Amino acid sequence: MINTKTILFAGLFALALPQMAGAQALKNVRAPANLPPADYTGAQFVDNKGCIFIRAGRLGPVTWVPRIDQARKHMCSKSYTPTFATQVATTDDAKPATPPVKGTTLNRGNVAYEGDVIKPVGAPDTSLVQAKEAKKVTQVSDAAKAIKAAAAETARNERSAKLAKQEQVAAQMKADALATKKANETRKAAQLAQAMKDAEAASIAKDLQKAAAAQKAADAKAARIAQRTAAKAARATAMAQKKAATAAARVAAKVARDVKRQAILDARAADQVAKAASKEAKKAKAMKMAAAKTKAADEAKAAAAKTKAAAAKTKAAAKPVKVAAKPVAKPAVVAKTTQAKAPVKVATVFKSGYYVDLGTTFSAANAHAMENRLLASGYRVQTQASGSKTKVFAGPFRTESNARVAFYQVATQGYKSAKVVKK
């Protein structure tokens, strides 16, 4: 049998079982309260205190080691039924009244260890009686043999304890090696899983970076295209504005030139009209003076004729003579004949183009004067008879804009009813 002091209370061959109530720390684990019989072949048993032990060492001496849970605590509970419940365990708390003889061994039955004393359980305690009888009847040689046998038994027990300790150490080393191997495998598996996750994450990140770079390149390309399109549109707009400004400047310059030319022509026409008016005034004054002279001459002639007639009348009264009356001259008719103007040209066919209708019908004399004024201004003139009146037109002009320039000049001269017409 193995001395209880040589048993190591370390957890070996731990099974993955749920943690149960009643478990205690391994440092507090003691030897089984009772041992099973020597012929017991079970893999585990429950002692009388409800603690579970498992078998260690199948080829050599048998060692019962505590069974531990996942928290590495000895599995003990009152709910566990002892394997040999009918036997009474003897521990430090329950010692026999009569100690057995030291060195006595039992090959069968349940036994419990208390120091170096073997306490039989379940059988009558006859060791003390046998020891006393042996002392009485045994010879010195028998006592020596007993001592030698006890020494041999102690040696066997020590060898068994040493072997059990070696097996326990080996089992512990094996368990530690298995645990280390399992931990290494678990760590390697975790590292491999983490490496796979890291590789997958890196691949995903790389794909995201590629997608972001592609999107950035697409955005940059779209921005460049939009910028080029905007620049092209701006250039086109600037070109159109420049062309429009150039055209407007050309039109403005042309209008300015036309206005300037028209101003020059108007100035010339005004000068000519002023000269014509002065000439007409002088001519009218001369005609008025001639008419006055003619009137005076006529009045003198009439007075002379009247005097002559009176003298003749007086003479006739003295001597009746039939005198033929002479026709009296009509100076007014001569004056009218002197003031007669040349007839105004009348055109009934208009050339195609734009005209400025003065909007007023003139008498023959006024129409002639207006025609001379327009001719002096540099315009071509067309007239049209309308009953006893005459309509005057300036033109033709090739474009409406040119007709508008003439229209403005005519309108400033007081002909507010003038308008541009197309013939």
pLDDT tens column, 365-405: 888 888 888 888 888 888 888 778 888 888 889 898 888 88
Q: How much is the pLDDT for 90? A: 44
Strand partners, 383: 392
Range name among 67-76, 107-116, 311-320 with the lowest pLDDT average: 107-116
* Phi, psi for 63 (deg, rounded to 5): -125, 130
Q: Which residue has the higher pLDDT, 169 or 411?
A: 169
Mean pLDDT of the chain: 75
Give the residue-averaged pLDDT of 192-215.
93
* Phi, psi for 394 (deg, rounded to 5): -100, 125
| Continuous segment of H or E residues that includes residue 173 | helix 140-318
Q: Are strands 111-114 and 73-74 parallel, antiparallel or unpaired?
A: unpaired
Token pair, residue 197, equals 């996750």
pLDDT tens column, 329-368: 444 433 343 343 444 444 456 778 899 888 777 787 888 8
Q: Confidence class of residue 109 from pLDDT cuts 50, 70 and 90?
A: very low
The helix/strand/coil state of 358 is strand
A 10 A CB-CB count for 66 gives 23
Q: What percentage of residues in the chain have a pLDDT greater than 90?
A: 23
- Kindly tell me if the per-residue pLDDT of 408 is higher than 80: yes
Q: What percentage of residues in the chain have a pLDDT greater than 70?
A: 70
Q: Confidence class of residue 97 from pLDDT cuts 50, 70 and 90?
A: very low
Q: How much is the pLDDT for 244? A: 92
Quote the pTM value. Answer: 0.23
Q: How much is the pLDDT for 131? A: 65
- Kindly tell me if the per-residue pLDDT of 247 is higher than 70: yes
Strand partners, 112: 119
Q: How many CA atoms lie within 13 A of 254 on its CB side?
A: 9
- Kindly tell me if the per-residue pLDDT of 51 is higher than 90: yes
Q: How much is the pLDDT for 27? A: 59
Q: Which residue has the higher pLDDT, 109 or 293?
A: 293
> Nearest CA to 74 among 31, 21, 26, 10?
26
Distances (CA, A) of 39 to 36, 42, 253: 8, 9, 137
Scanning the structure block, which residue is given the tokens 């050309």? 250
Strand partners, 74: 24, 68
Q: How much is the pLDDT for 208? A: 94
Give the residue-averaged pLDDT of 68-76.
89
Q: How much is the pLDDT for 41? A: 87
Q: How much is the pLDDT for 369? A: 83
Distances (CA, A) of 28 to 72, 82, 395, 401: 12, 20, 137, 125
Q: How much is the pLDDT for 66? A: 92
Q: How much is the pLDDT for 317? A: 64
Q: How much is the pLDDT for 295? A: 80
Given 3-state DSSP classes, what are the helix, strand and coil percentages for the chain, each rounded to the nearest 5? Answer: 55, 15, 30
A 10 A CB-CB count for 43 gives 7
pLDDT tens column, 268-299: 877 777 777 777 778 778 788 888 788 888 88
Q: How much is the pLDDT for 21? A: 39
Distances (CA, A) of 276 to 25, 146, 270, 283: 146, 185, 9, 10
Q: Confidence class of residue 245 from pLDDT cuts 50, 70 and 90?
A: very high
Q: How much is the pLDDT for 330? A: 46
Which contacts (CB < 8 Å, 24+ apart) does range 194-200 have?
A: none
Scanning the structure block, which residue is given the tokens 């001459």? 297
The rounded distance, in Å, linking the Cα atoms of 258 and 152 is 153
- Kindly tell me if the per-residue pLDDT of 150 is higher than 50: yes
Scanning the structure block, which residue is given the tokens 């039989």? 120
Q: How much is the pLDDT for 58? A: 63
What sign for the dihedral angle of Cα 293, 298, 301, 306? negative
Q: How much is the pLDDT for 101? A: 40
Range name among 93-107, 223-237, 347-361 with the lowest pLDDT average: 93-107
What burial class does residue 385 get, using C-beta atoms within 10 Å of its C-beta: 0-12 exposed, 13-18 middle, 19+ buried?
A: middle
